[in-house]
Amino acid sequence: MAVPDEDAFSTVITLNERDERLPLLLNLLKERGITWLERRRDRFTDAELEEARLLVAWYFFPNGRIFAGPRMGTTYDMSDACQRCGAGARQTSAMIIEAENLNVLEGQRAVATCYEDLLVDETLAGALAQSGATGISFRGVFAAFEKRGHFQLPWRQLCGTHTLPPMSPRSTGVAPYKPCPCGRSSFHTFEEVPPRFAYRASDVANIRDVNMTWEWFGEVNFNGDVSDALFPYPFFLVTPKVWRIFRDAGVTGFDWLPIRVEED
Ligand SMILES: [Zn+2]
The total number of structural domains in the chain stands at 2
Say if residue 24 is in the same domain as residue 66.
no
Separation of CA 83 and ligand 1 centre (Å): 7
Say if residue 138 is in the same domain as residue 158.
yes
Shortest CA distance to 115 belongs to which of 72, 156, 69?
A: 69
Task: Name the residue range of residue 77's domain.
Answer: 46-262
Say if residue 28 is in the same domain as residue 56.
no
Say if residue 17 is in the same domain as residue 132.
no
Say if residue 13 is in the same domain as residue 56.
no
Query: What pLDDT is attached to residue 90?
Result: 97
Say if residue 106 is in the same domain as residue 228.
yes
CB 232 within 8 A of CB 31: no
Query: What pLDDT is attached to residue 178?
Result: 85
What is the chain's pLDDT, residue by residue, as a tens digit (264 residues)?
A: 667 777 766 787 889 999 999 999 999 999 999 999 898 999 999 999 999 999 999 998 888 899 999 999 999 999 999 999 999 999 999 999 999 999 999 999 999 999 999 999 999 999 999 999 999 999 999 999 988 899 999 999 999 999 999 999 999 999 988 889 999 999 999 988 999 999 999 999 999 999 999 999 998 899 999 999 999 999 999 999 999 999 999 999 999 999 999 987
Separation of CA 81 and ligand 1 centre (Å): 8
Residues 167 and 213: their CA atoms lie apart, in Å, by 8
Query: What pLDDT is attached to residue 1?
Result: 60
CB 176 within 8 A of CB 186: yes
Say if residue 94 is in the same domain as residue 9.
no
Say if residue 117 is in the same domain as residue 195.
yes
Residues 4 and 135: their CA atoms lie apart, in Å, by 43
- State CA 178 to chain mean position distance: 20
Say if residue 1 is in the same domain as residue 128.
no
CB 223 within 8 A of CB 16: no
The enclosing H or E element of 242 equals helix 240-248
Say if residue 135 is in the same domain as residue 69.
yes
Query: What pLDDT is attached to residue 141?
Result: 98
Separation of CA 166 and ligand 1 centre (Å): 14
- State CA 126 to chain mean position distance: 21
Say if residue 17 is in the same domain as residue 101.
no
CB 86 within 8 A of CB 185: yes
Separation of CA 223 and ligand 1 centre (Å): 12
Separation of CA 21 and ligand 1 centre (Å): 45
Residues 22 and 211: their CA atoms lie apart, in Å, by 37
pTM above 0.85, yes or no: yes
Separation of CA 189 and ligand 1 centre (Å): 18
Say if residue 54 is in the same domain as residue 176.
yes
- State CA 105 to chain mean position distance: 16
Separation of CA 74 and ligand 1 centre (Å): 20
